Amino acid sequence: MAERIEFTIEASYSSPEKAKVAIDRMKHVMNMHLAVRVTADPALYFFRVVDDSLWFEQVGSKVTIHFQVPHRELRRVKQILK
């Protein structure tokens, strides 16, 4: 059994410039959340887990977002949401 789940999200934009803006905004939002120093926040912890493997790829007007979440972290999130 795999130790992690890999996520791939693909999005198409009307132009390469809009795709670049979308990537910049996503990176900005992630950085904004990660700048918060509240360590007890479960959502923030999950953002940090995602950020460890997050990467963006742009080909023309298409953006692909990749990240991985270890199974142990998915179990933790499930417990938090209960």
Domains along the chain?
4-81 (3.30.310)
Amino acid at 38: V
- Residue 49: per-residue pLDDT: 86
As beta bridge partners, residue 55 has 66
CA–centroid distance for 39 within its chain: 18
Q: What pLDDT is attached to residue 82?
A: 66
**The pLDDT value given to residue 1:** 62
53 class by beta-carbon count within 10 Å (0-12 exposed, 13-18 middle, 19+ buried): middle
Banded pLDDT at 9 (limits 50, 70, 90)? very high
Whether the pLDDT of residue 81 is over 80: the answer is no
- C-alpha 1/C-alpha 28 separation (Å) is 34
Average pLDDT over residues 22-37: 89
Query: Quick one: CA dihedral 18, 24, 26, 32, positive or negative?
Result: negative
Extract the runs of DSSP E, i.e. beta strands, from the chain. Answer: 4-12, 55-59, 62-70
pTM: 0.77
